[in-house]
Amino acid sequence: MTTAPATGADVTSEDAWDHRRARGATGLLRTFNDAGVLEAVDVHVAQRLCASLGERDEQVALALALAVRAVRGGSVCVDLHTVAEEVVLWTEVPDDPAAAAAGSEPDAEPEAGEDPAAVLPWPEPGAWYAAVRASALTRPSEGGATVLRLLEDRLLYLDRYWREEQQVCDDLLARPPLDAPTDVESTALETGLDRVFPLPGYDEQRAAARTALTQRTTVLTGGPGTGKTTTVAALLALLAEQAEVAGRPRPRVALAAPTGKAAARLQQAVEEELAGLPAVDQERVGRPQAVTLHRLLGSNPRSSTRFRHHRGDRLPHDVVVVDETSMVSLTLTARLLEAVRPTTRLILVGDPDQLTSVEAGAVLADLVAGLAGHEHLAVAALRTSHRYGDAIGDLATAVRDGDADRALDLLRSGDEHLRLVEDPDPVPAVRELVLPRALELVRAAASGEAEAALRLLDQQRLLCAHREGSAGVRHWNRLVERWVAEETGEPVWATWYAGRPVLVTANDYGLGVHNGDAGVVVRDPVRGLRARVAAVPQALDLAPSRLGQVETMHALTIHKSQGSQADEVLVVLPPARSRLLTRELFYTAVTRARGRVVVVGAEAEVRAAIGRRAVRATGLRQRLGGAGPDVPGEG
């Protein structure tokens, strides 16, 4: 098995103006920049900090630059003992020259070739580590700031991430245990569990709910359709009942998710599951409103990493439920934990096998590994899928378990829920699948049926790993727009047209739209074209020109699809050597589907996806006393 390289694009070209080249670099920094391991920003930060603290050892400068690089790749630290094996450089050949020239080609398709990282002059790890430890960069400066931090003789951090990780660990471990339940509470708990889980087949959820009710802090994990939301809905009812029997006021509940789309989905799923509970429980829970985590914490216009609620002004809630925790970065987790009162029930829900947060950290996976064995911090795992019939669930399990043979067998089995499009030219097959839906969307939008158009958006999703290249979002968006234009006669260059699906790419608190919100342009008979955005708490109707940053969403990157689902999902796999193609990426794509998965790609690409892990360097699980770092190639 291989591991996905963190980042690194080849910059061995002769183009001295390449934005990745640090023209003032010398020595090791120059060598690693020329090879494409380091980008200009890594080199510049290292040079500046080394100069300001009088550090002349180029090995220390290289370590610092690699720590900056690590964060760019989603890790929170760099392991000096293994970094030489983990860095893989592939010669990348962008197939979209315009985008490449504009420097916006972070993820184009690589070509086969010898990995040049293997021949770089990597320092000997022991001596390297000793040099870093002896450096002024690892000691507080006169102003009190420390640049680099070390953990457990191998992990090297930029100070900010070291402190955030330590804070997350300290805040979690400091959360007090619950008082032992009274006899009355215990009895109410048992009868309550019988009431909300009356049927056979709910044993896992019952056990998970029992765990969560007896703990202040619970991590509730499970793959798609394993009943996480059902458990959350039941938990809310039982927590309200527990408060009632103890004579406490009804708990104040916060439901939050990292993106608007995920919050909207959480809201809908909780409402559906609550509707299945006895009337007394529905009445107890009321209608909690799901919000984004940023909104819960109170966005601060002056800072993207600091919020209105913090240690000095905590959230008022008695129960805080966070869904899609796998998408929450280390920084946001730190902000959440300092804002939640120590006595608040905290329930972190998610699927640790999914892609991690866009920003640095792998918090959910670290918690699952690191909390095992802790008495007052529980991990409750749901394993049985209740949603699919269950071919998609079987495929997700095969991908998660690294069983490529089984995944391919399932995809080729002829099951109505699965399909593998292996054609060397997949365009006709994708056109046949995608165009009817796109035209349906245009028809609904052109007749002003906004709600129907928004519902249609959730019926099908075309997912790509990359933004650029022949397997990328931009290419497929253009293709679908051209197919639609051929059918409707609309000019292909029109920016706004009825039936254009859009994805909001930046928060606009004034408008009430958030990065990740989906929408569609509809024709209003009186006002002309309007953008209908599925924002939370309610859909918005806006003049398209007011939407500042949007992208067309006939196709979407798998990263951006996190937190949402569609009835049918088409996954266009990139070439096997793409550094983005990992098991976590493929698993995330497959599990976006409610009813059908179509994988567009060759067998080699399916095998590459399943065989390669996305590994992030973090130290949280060790700090929590867990299983140790992810070892590339394992697992």
Ligand X SMILES: Nc1ncnc2c1ncn2[C@@H]1O[C@H](COP(=O)(O)OP(=O)(O)OP(=O)(O)O)[C@@H](O)[C@H]1O
Given 3-state DSSP classes, what are the helix, strand and coil percentages for the chain, each rounded to the nearest 5?
40, 20, 40
Closest approach, Cβ 230 to ligand X, in A, equals: 3
Q: Which is nearer to ligand X, 158 or 597 (CB)?
A: 597
> How many residues of this chain interact with ligand X, rule: CB under 6 A?
15
Q: Which is nearer to ligand X, 71 or 212 (CB)?
A: 212
> How far apart are alpha carbons 253 and 239 in whole angstroms?
10
Q: Compute φ and ψ for 303, nearest 5 degrees.
A: -155, 140
> How far apart are alpha carbons 59 and 614 in whole angstroms?
27
Q: Which is nearer to ligand X, 164 or 273 (CB)?
A: 273
| Residue with the two structure tokens 């499009």 | 421
> How far apart are alpha carbons 489 and 485 in whole angstroms?
5
What is the identity of the amino acid at 527?
Answer: R
> How far apart are alpha carbons 554 and 499 in whole angstroms?
10
Q: Residue 569 is inside which H or E element, if any?
A: strand 566-572
Closest approach, Cβ 345 to ligand X, in A, equals: 19
Q: Compute φ and ψ for 181, nearest 5 degrees.
A: -70, 150
When asked if residue 229 is in the footprint of ligand X (CB under 6 A), the reply is yes
Q: Which residues are annotated as a binding site?
A: 222-229
Closest approach, Cβ 467 to ligand X, in A, equals: 26
β-bridge partners, 540: 533
- Please tell me the total number of residues recorded for the chain in this structure: 635
Closest approach, Cβ 300 to ligand X, in A, equals: 30
The one among 73, 224, 350, 501 contacting ligand X by CB under 6 A: 224
Stretch that binds ligand X, among 16-24, 139-147, 218-226, 421-429 (CB under 6 A): 218-226
When asked if residue 157 is in the footprint of ligand X (CB under 6 A), the reply is no
When asked if residue 230 is in the footprint of ligand X (CB under 6 A), the reply is yes
Stretch that binds ligand X, among 82-90, 169-177, 201-209, 508-516 (CB under 6 A): 201-209
What is the token pair recorded at 226? 């394993």
Stretch that binds ligand X, among 83-91, 198-206, 441-449, 535-543 (CB under 6 A): 198-206
Stretch that binds ligand X, among 87-95, 228-236, 484-492, 570-578 (CB under 6 A): 228-236
Edge-to-edge strand ranges of the sheet holding 550-552: 540-542, 528-533, 518-524, 501-504, 550-552
Residue 15's SS3 state is coil
> How far apart are alpha carbons 219 and 368 in whole angstroms?
7
Stretch that binds ligand X, among 222-230, 357-365, 487-495, 516-524 (CB under 6 A): 222-230
The one among 122, 129, 157, 202 contacting ligand X by CB under 6 A: 202
Classify 134 in phi/psi space as left (phi over 0), alpha (psi -120 to 50) or beta: alpha
Stretch that binds ligand X, among 219-227, 362-370, 540-548, 556-564 (CB under 6 A): 219-227
When asked if residue 626 is in the footprint of ligand X (CB under 6 A), the reply is no
When asked if residue 222 is in the footprint of ligand X (CB under 6 A), the reply is yes
Q: Which residues are annotated as a binding site for ATP?
A: 222-229
- From residue 191, give the alpha-carbon distance in Å to each of 91, 227, 241, 345: 63, 20, 11, 21
Q: Which is nearer to ligand X, 228 or 616 (CB)?
A: 228
Closest approach, Cβ 50 to ligand X, in A, equals: 47
Closest approach, Cβ 616 to ligand X, in A, equals: 22
Closest approach, Cβ 266 to ligand X, in A, equals: 8
When asked if residue 352 is in the footprint of ligand X (CB under 6 A), the reply is no
Neighbouring CB atoms inside 10 A of 470's CB total 16
Q: Which is nearer to ligand X, 135 or 218 (CB)?
A: 218
- HEC string of 474-491 equals HHHHHHHHHHHHHHHCCC
β-bridge partners, 220: 349, 380
Cα four-point dihedral sign 486, 491, 493, 499: negative
The one among 210, 387, 443, 455 contacting ligand X by CB under 6 A: 387
Question: Which pairing describes strands 528-533 and 518-524: parallel, antiparallel, or unpaired?
Answer: antiparallel
Closest approach, Cβ 302 to ligand X, in A, equals: 34
Q: Do the beta carbons of residue 2 and residue 115 sit within 8 Å?
A: no
Q: Which is nearer to ligand X, 206 or 376 (CB)?
A: 206
When asked if residue 326 is in the footprint of ligand X (CB under 6 A), the reply is no
Site string for ligand X, 242-281 (x = CB under 6 A): ---------------------------x---x--------
When asked if residue 227 is in the footprint of ligand X (CB under 6 A), the reply is yes
Stretch that binds ligand X, among 120-128, 164-172, 224-232, 421-429 (CB under 6 A): 224-232
Stretch that binds ligand X, among 130-138, 220-228, 360-368, 580-588 (CB under 6 A): 220-228
Q: Which is nearer to ligand X, 378 or 529 (CB)?
A: 378
Closest approach, Cβ 600 to ligand X, in A, equals: 23
The one among 215, 218, 226, 397 contacting ligand X by CB under 6 A: 226
When asked if residue 228 is in the footprint of ligand X (CB under 6 A), the reply is yes
DSSP conformation class of 573: P
The one among 74, 225, 426, 519 contacting ligand X by CB under 6 A: 225
The torsion of the CA quartet 600, 602, 604, 608, rounded to 10 degrees, works out to: -10
Question: Which pairing describes strands 593-600 and 501-504: parallel, antiparallel, or unpaired?
Answer: unpaired
Q: Residue 188 is inside which H or E element, if any?
A: helix 183-196
> How far apart are alpha carbons 249 and 452 in whole angstroms?
41
What is the per-residue DSSP string for 515-535? TT-EEEEEEETTTEEEEEE--
When asked if residue 450 is in the footprint of ligand X (CB under 6 A), the reply is no
Closest approach, Cβ 624 to ligand X, in A, equals: 25
Closest approach, Cβ 570 to ligand X, in A, equals: 19
What is the identity of the amino acid at 195?
Answer: R
Closest approach, Cβ 260 to ligand X, in A, equals: 16
> How far apart are alpha carbons 570 and 464 in whole angstroms?
9
When asked if residue 206 is in the footprint of ligand X (CB under 6 A), the reply is no
> How far apart are alpha carbons 522 and 497 in whole angstroms?
8
Stretch that binds ligand X, among 197-205, 239-247, 311-319, 539-547 (CB under 6 A): 197-205
What is the identity of the amino acid at 104?
Answer: S
β-bridge partners, 568: 460, 596
Q: Which is nearer to ligand X, 160 or 387 (CB)?
A: 387
The one among 386, 431, 455, 607 contacting ligand X by CB under 6 A: 386
Q: Do the beta carbons of residue 389 and residue 416 sit within 8 Å?
A: no
Closest approach, Cβ 225 to ligand X, in A, equals: 4
The one among 201, 537, 548, 628 contacting ligand X by CB under 6 A: 201
Binding residues vs ligand X (CB under 6 A): 201-202, 205, 222, 224-230, 269, 273, 386-387
